């Protein structure tokens, strides 16, 4: 007997539970250990976007009229490519879970194809861990599909902003959060 038989949890089950709880914490720490963690303004001071993904379809027709946003965290590597991408926040209005998943996957594909160039302040090409907000505006006069995708205007991006991104990453309190 291992002394835990009364609870019905064996030692191997307990170890698996503890391992499952510890591994994600270790992975999150490893994801930012070699990166300068910066918010959007910090990213712009270190890296500028020189290539946007072309042809990534967002399911904009499934949105109500108005604006939506998706905040995606990522690392920008020394070669300007992105890695460690994950959606942190979405503000899409009233849509189905399926539509939320479609937007999430589209945002991940969009940033997978993005490329960044270091600024003069980052001539050493220091990798960063950051986030970016992608906004979509659905209007009647937007042309085919009734949507316009662009970098955030302040009003449309506000629901996806992460006010204290750097401290949230440092404290391990940054989690995927969908509005």
pLDDT in tens, the chain (179 residues): 444 434 344 433 333 333 333 333 333 433 456 899 999 999 999 999 877 667 677 788 888 767 889 999 999 999 999 999 999 999 998 889 999 999 999 999 999 999 999 999 999 999 999 999 988 877 655 444 444 444 445 788 999 999 899 999 988 887 665 44
List the beta bridge partners of residue 170: none
The answer on 81 and 11 residing in a single domain is no
65 part of a folded domain: yes
Q: What domain range includes position 22?
A: 1-33
Distance from first CA to last CA of the chain, Å, rounded?
A: 48
The answer on 61 and 107 residing in a single domain is yes
The answer on 87 and 112 residing in a single domain is yes
pTM equals 0.71
| CATH classification of the domain holding 134 | 3.30.2420.10
- Give me the pLDDT at residue 153, please: 59
Please tell me the distance from the alpha carbon of residue 107 to that of residue 114, in angstroms, as a whole number: 11
Which backbone phi and psi does 94 adopt, to 5 degrees?
-85, 100
Please tell me the distance from the alpha carbon of residue 136 to that of residue 69, in angstroms, as a whole number: 6
Please tell me whether residue 176 adopts helix, strand or coil conformation: coil
7 part of a folded domain: yes
- Give me the pLDDT at residue 24, please: 35
- Give me the pLDDT at residue 166, please: 93
176 part of a folded domain: no
Please count the structural domains in the chain: 2
């Amino acid at each position: 007997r291992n002394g835990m038989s009364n609870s019905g949890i064996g030692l191997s089950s307990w170890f698996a539970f503890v391992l499952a709880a510890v591994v994600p914490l270790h992975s999150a720490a490893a994801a930012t250990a070699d990166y300068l963690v910066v918010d959007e303004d910090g990213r712009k001071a270190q890296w500028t976007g020189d290539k946007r993904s072309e042809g990534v379809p967002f399911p904009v027709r499934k949105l109500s009229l108005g604006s939506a946003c998706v905040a995606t965290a990522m690392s920008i590597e020394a070669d300007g490519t992105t890695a460690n991408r994950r959606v942190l926040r979405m503000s899409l209005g009233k849509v189905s879970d399926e539509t939320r998943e479609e937007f999430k996957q589209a945002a991940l594909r969009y940033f997978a194809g993005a490329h960044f160039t270091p600024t003069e302040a980052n001539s050493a090409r220091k990798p960063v861990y950051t986030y970016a907000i992608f906004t979509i505006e659905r209007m009647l006069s937007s042309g085919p599909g009734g949507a316009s995708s662009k970098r955030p205007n302040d009003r449309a991006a506000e629901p996806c902003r992460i006010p204290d991104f750097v401290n949230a990453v440092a404290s391990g309190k940054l989690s995927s959060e969908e509005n």
